[in-house]
Amino acid sequence: MDRNLRKERVGIVTSDKMDKSVVVIVERRVMHPKYGKFVKRSSKFMAHDEKEEANIGDTVRIMETRPISKSKCWRVVEIVERAK
């Protein structure tokens, strides 16, 4: 089975109040089509955190996975950096 097609994102945890779930915000810079200026765009992802290790402010890597619930189809792979 080929598992190389799964998307990965790196973002910051904004909420960890749920059981085994975190909300991760992923920011990207997109060039404005008319003005050419780079604009920040962000997306929120609900991610599954089995061991409940991630806390608010942590930078985490998330990976696409099968749907775990209505809103969760990502899971936390690793914690890149702890919040200071």
Instruction: List, in order of start, the domains of the chain with CATH numbers.
Output: 8-81 (2.40.50.140)
Rg (CA), the chain: 14
pTM score: 0.87
pLDDT one digit per residue (tens) for the chain, 84 residues: 566 789 999 999 999 999 999 999 999 999 999 999 999 999 999 999 999 999 999 999 999 999 999 999 999 999 999 988
Give Cα separations from 54 to 1, 44, 59 (angstroms). 29, 16, 9
Tell me what pLDDT residue 84 has.
84
Strand 21-31 and strand 59-64: the pairing is unpaired
